[in-house]
Amino acid sequence: MEYLYFDEIDSTNSYLKREYQNLKDSTLVFAGHQTSGKGRMGRKWEDDSDSLLFSILLKKDLNPSRSDLLSLLCGVALHKTLEEYHIPSLIKWPNDVLVHEKKVAGILLEGVVQDSLKAIIIGMGINVNTKNFPSDLQGKATSLFLETNTEFDKVVFLKKFVDKFEYYYSRYLLKDDVFLDVLRQNSYLDGKQVFFNYYGENRHCVVKGISREGNLLVEDEHGLCQVKSGEVTLEKSYHQH
């Protein structure tokens, strides 16, 4: 992995999108603060300089049909990193990592397509030393500091994460998706009822697991089916009684 650091940048994902042709495969860019951080679905990702903000550029051996798996793989790498710090976490399909039911990190996977897939950019925002969240996020978000009352060294944390990422990614390239086993053991949505919007139609299902392709396996009155991450918005999830 090659590392680049900026005290301040618009967005590490946007930077890699602009510069991918000039940068090597496996470049990781991290920033102290983002002025236009991006979340999923066009949302903003605000930070107070206390979070770990980075993006990884992948240009080699890209496989469009397997690229959705990469955000799950990053979720697993983060779960394993947190395990080293004795912080229990669960991965919420398809893009979040939760600690005690609250979001501690978000993942934004973007592809650069020009005739074919030229690059994949995986952006992660991890709430490391965040002390306060804006009122709309309180109750939904947490940080490693709030969970443990300890300040974390962001660079040490990042290096540990990269070790895990590289391990699972090298296996993934060999189509050995061992990260899926870890995911299945630590999947937040398993057994929960979810309500989602499926092409305009509201559906209620129970989550049965995650398929080898990284799709969510759900069951409703029509039977078992698989949902791809791009196809649904999970509106709500709640425990089954």
Site residues (vs ligand BTN, CB under 6 A): 11-13, 34, 37-40, 43, 45, 53-55, 95, 106-108, 123-125
CB of 34 to ligand BTN, least distance (A): 6
Closer by beta carbon to ligand BTN, 49 or else 181 = 49
CB of 43 to ligand BTN, least distance (A): 6
The dihedral sign for the CA sequence 234, 239, 142, 150 = negative
CB of 60 to ligand BTN, least distance (A): 21
Long-range contacts of 169-174 (CB under 8 A, 24+ apart): 169/73, 172/66, 172/69, 172/70, 172/73, 173/61
Closer by beta carbon to ligand BTN, 39 or else 209 = 39
CB of 192 to ligand BTN, least distance (A): 19
Closer by beta carbon to ligand BTN, 27 or else 55 = 55
Q: Mark out the alpha helices in the chain (DSSP H runs).
A: 12-19, 69-84, 144-148, 154-173, 179-185
CB proximity list for 137: less than 8 A, separation 6 or greater: none
Closer by beta carbon to ligand BTN, 90 or else 108 = 108
Backbone angles phi, psi at 159, to 5 degrees: -65, -40
Q: Are 96 and 113 in contact (CB under 8 A)?
A: no
Looking up tokens 């496989």, which residue turns up?
Answer: 63
Closer by beta carbon to ligand BTN, 54 or else 168 = 54
Closer by beta carbon to ligand BTN, 123 or else 214 = 123
Q: Amino acid identity of 140? A: K
CA distances from 54 to 27, 59, 91, 119, 192 (A): 10, 17, 19, 16, 31
CB of 14 to ligand BTN, least distance (A): 6
Backbone angles phi, psi at 79, to 5 degrees: -55, -45
Closer by beta carbon to ligand BTN, 69 or else 107 = 107
CB of 174 to ligand BTN, least distance (A): 27
- By Cβ distance, which residue is nearest to ligand BTN? 106
Q: Are 152 and 57 in contact (CB under 8 A)?
A: no
CB of 15 to ligand BTN, least distance (A): 8
